[in-house]
Amino acid sequence: MRRGRTLILVLLIIIIGLIVGFVAIRQFILNSQAQEQQPAFVDVYYAAQNIPQGGPITEDVLLTMSIPQENVVAVMFTRDELSLLTNNKVAKFPLDQGVVITEPMVSDSSAAVPISGPQWASLIPPGMTAMSIPASRLSLSGYAVNDGAHVNINACLLFVDVDPTFQTILPNLTAVLTGTGLGSVQGAEGTGFAVEGLPILSLGVASAGSAQGRLELDPSLQQPYYLIPSEAQRPRMVCQMLLQDVVVMKMGTFPLIPSASITTQPAAADAQAQEQAAPAAPDIVTLIVTPQDSITLSYLMYTNAQISLTLRNPSDQARQATEASTLQFLLSQYNIPVPAKLPYAMQPSLTTLISPFLPNDTVTVPPQ
């Protein structure tokens, strides 16, 4: 009886040991599989701040981020490759904060200038070109436009009617021809043309310089009368948005002296010089446009068209279809009525619109 109890106890101990061993082995296997399935992360370097073109790559301007090992490519710099990244390396082109550093972005300091010509030429994408146009406070949206801004370009043009042959503004000037013939010029009003060895060709002119008009019939008197213009032809204006999402490369003038040739000054002297030299208001802006658009801007600039830049959100990639603004468009689009001719009017008479003068407005007195 005692042997049977002992045998049962031994069997229970063996069974419990097997169960404990099975559970331990199973837990170990599951942990191993979980560790194998968990992705490994690798630390890679990125720009902790904006690095200018030609700026040295040092440990102070770098930080690391962890990304899955499967997303790491060969051109990235890992934590083990810090010495390769900071050993006499400079940025080939401006690097924005947060950009992961790769091998094509850096080069040895001995080859600091990656391209011939000015350093800012590397900011122009392939197939594009830089074009400078005049600018003012009004055309630059009150100087809200700055380097790297995205803008739309509007242009306003004036159109007049011209004579197709003379290419002169209408109306033409008229003259009355009183007679033609060969011989001497008769009268002070005559005009003569002489060719050596030939008689004089005379054109008698009774009156010259009158603007060309038109003949109309008075409906009341049934009499024809001749109308001539009372003033020169008034140009017709049209405004339209020509270019969209244009990148501003530079506000103002580029420096004439390369940055590498500028001698360094003490910090105090440099700060004093900056305080004394107040920045001048920019009167020129350089845009990155296609070659065809640069030709268009050149034509507008030399035909005295009024060009203005409107600031837009750089993340906005949409293109808007717009209609050109003319006097007819304003009247129809915004439901503006043409004032009726009434038997009464405002006094004093209004011929121009003048902005009201405010007490805080400054008056500039020209020098005597």
Say which CATH number the domain at 52 has: 3.90.1210.10
The pLDDT value given to residue 328: 95
Reduce the secondary structure of 73-98 to three states and give it as a string.
CCCECEHHHHHHHHCCEEECCCECCC
Q: Are residues 146 and 93 both part of a single domain? A: no
Residues 94 and 180 in one domain: no
pLDDT tens digits, 69-84 = 888 888 888 888 888 8
The pLDDT value recorded for residue 363 is 64
Mean pLDDT value across residues 223-243: 93
**Of the listed ranges 76-90, 194-208, 220-234, 252-266, the one predicted with least confidence:** 194-208
Residues 292-329: tens digit of each pLDDT: 999 999 999 999 999 999 999 988 889 999 999 999 99
Count of structural domains, the chain: 3
User: In the β-sheet with 201-211, what is the strand arrangement from edge to edge?
Assistant: 173-182, 201-211, 190-193
Same-domain pairing of 205 and 292:
no
Rounded to an integer, the average pLDDT of 185-195 is 44
Residue 193 shares a structural domain with residue 141: no
Q: What is the pLDDT of residue 356?
A: 82
Position 157 confidence tier, pLDDT thresholds 50, 70, 90: very high
Average pLDDT over residues 161-182: 82
**pLDDT, position 67:** 86
Q: With 70 as the cut, is the pLDDT of residue 54 above it? A: yes
Write the CA distances from 298 to 132, 145, 236, 301, integer angstroms: 9, 21, 22, 5
> How large is the average pLDDT for residues 215-241?
91
Q: Residue 362 has what pLDDT?
A: 67
- Residue whose tokens read 């490759």: 81
Average of per-residue pLDDT values in the chain: 80
User: Are 155 and 297 in a shared domain?
Assistant: yes
pLDDT in tens, 37-50: 556 788 899 999 88
pLDDT at 35: 59
Same domain, 155 and 245: yes
Predicted pLDDT of residue 365:
60
- For residue 323, what are its two tokens? 């209609």
d(CA 15, CA 23): 12
Confidence check: pLDDT of 92 > 60: yes
Instruction: Characterise 295 by phi-psi region: left (phi > 0), alpha (psi -120 to 50), beta (else).
Output: alpha
Residue 96 lies in a domain: yes
**pLDDT over threshold 90, residue 259:** no
Cβ burial 24-59 (10 Å sphere, 16+ → b, else e): eeeeeeeeeeeeeeeeeebebbbbeeebebbbbbee
Average confidence (pLDDT) over 249-270: 63
User: Is 109 strand, coil or helix?
Assistant: helix
Residue 179 has pLDDT above 70, yes or no: no
Residue 338 is predicted with a pLDDT of 93
Q: Are residues 94 and 139 in the same domain?
A: no
Q: Is the domain of 223 the same as that of 240?
A: no
Does the residue 275 lie in any domain?
no
Are residues 285 and 141 part of one domain?
yes
Measured in degrees and rounded to the nearest 5, phi and psi for residue 229 equal: -65, 145
Would you state the structure tokens that stand for residue 276, as one six-digit string?
């004394």
E strand or H helix at 364: none
Domain range enclosing 84: 41-109
Evaluate whether residue 207 is within a structural domain. Answer: yes
Q: How many CB atoms lie within 10 A of CB 149?
A: 19
Residue 36 pLDDT grade (very low, low, confident, very high; cuts 50, 70, 90):
low
Query: Residue 262's pLDDT band (boundaries 50, 70, 90)?
Result: very low
Residue 46 token pair:
């990125």
Average pLDDT over residues 2-19: 77
Across residues 260-264, what is the average pLDDT? 42
| pLDDT (0 to 100) of residue 113 | 44
Q: Which of 10-14, 132-136, 156-160, 188-192 has the lowest mean pLDDT?
A: 188-192
Q: Residue 185: pLDDT above 70?
A: no
